[in-house]
Amino acid sequence: MQHSGFFLVDKPEGPTSNRVLQDIRKSLSVEFFASQQKFGHAGTLDSFASGLLIILTGKATRLTRWFMNQSKEYDAVFRFGEETDTLDPQGRIVDIGAIPTKETLENIIPSFCGNIKQIPPSYSAVHVCGKRSYEIARAGKKPEISPRFVTIDTIELQSFKEKEATLRIRCSSGTYIRSLARDIGHACGSCATVVSLRRTKIGPFFISQAHHPHECNEKTLKVFSPDIAQSLGLATAVIQLDFVKHFIHGRALPIKAITFNDDQMTLLRNLDLSFESKQVALFSEKGELLGIAEHKDKELVPKVVMEEESRL
């Protein structure tokens, strides 16, 4: 029997995100997960980093984008006065500089909050001319990576001792903390690299809810419920039984096929922009996720279909 859902994992320092995924996959019973069961993770952590990692299984892997697009929170330690080629403790030092004062750092930090342009690290999985950036960097060449906009909500300086600053950072999906360290170091007239990184929050999920990879099993698997869907920014509704087959065959549904809860009925009555811009997680009357649809021209158009007619 196959199961779909997700694990909240507290990744330790050392292994890659994929290694953690494969270890969890191998540890689960054959009876629980068939050999062809799909696995995936929603946002990687570098091997030197630790913290919250979301691993999806089965058909829940189709929901990866909604987990990926959530904001993140990190506890990080930046070491000033040296910069490595990888911008982390596993690289070789390529630049050294003077140690900035705490006052200088405090004055610089606010300029990195808000919507900023950021260039990902050379040693990253960003695609450049059909290749991964790290592949180009390992070949001894400098990848030409275009800057991209990210959002830094807050940077809190927790402490600054000798040459290491401990910071708490809340930011948008797609933000590279290694690049943030590099850029803050340069703005201080110095250089910096990340020597410790721990992800403590992804969207509505906290590290306190996570389990060590060895503790991930049938009991810790989370189901994509209406509450989870709403916490990820989705509206939720129930498909009336007579319309279920229409949806799983990929057909658009009329509004009358959907039952919303009382809070969302207000949005439905007005058909205002706040409703039209929302995607809707659609559930069966038994509470099973059937898929996700998007409101368009007063219809709900399927974006992801989870179930098949043979299982209903």
Domain ranges of the chain: 5-70+204-215, 72-201, 226-311
CATH code of 72-201, in short, is 3.30.2350.10
pLDDT above 90: residue 308? no
Contact 47, 15 (CB under 8 A): yes
pLDDT above 60: residue 139? yes
| pLDDT tens string 3-24 | 789 999 999 999 999 999 999 9
At residue 267 the predicted structure's pLDDT band, cuts being 50, 70 and 90, is: very low
The DSSP letter of residue 220 is T
Contact 189, 100 (CB under 8 A): yes
Q: What is the mean pLDDT of the chain?
A: 88
* pTM of full prediction above 0.85: yes
262 as an active site residue: the answer is no
Position with higher pLDDT, 63 vs 260? 63
Pure H helices in the chain:
17-27, 64-68, 102-108, 133-138, 177-187, 226-231, 244-248, 262-270, 273-276
User: Same topology for domains 5-70+204-215 and 72-201, yes or no?
Assistant: yes
| 226-311 topology per CATH | 2.30.130
Q: Is the dihedral of CA 208, 209, 211, 212 positive or negative?
A: negative
Position with higher pLDDT, 140 vs 270? 140
Determine whether domain 5-70+204-215 maps to CATH 3.30.2350.10.
yes
Q: Which two tokens stand for residue 30?
A: 């054959």
46, 75, 88, 183: the catalytic one is 46
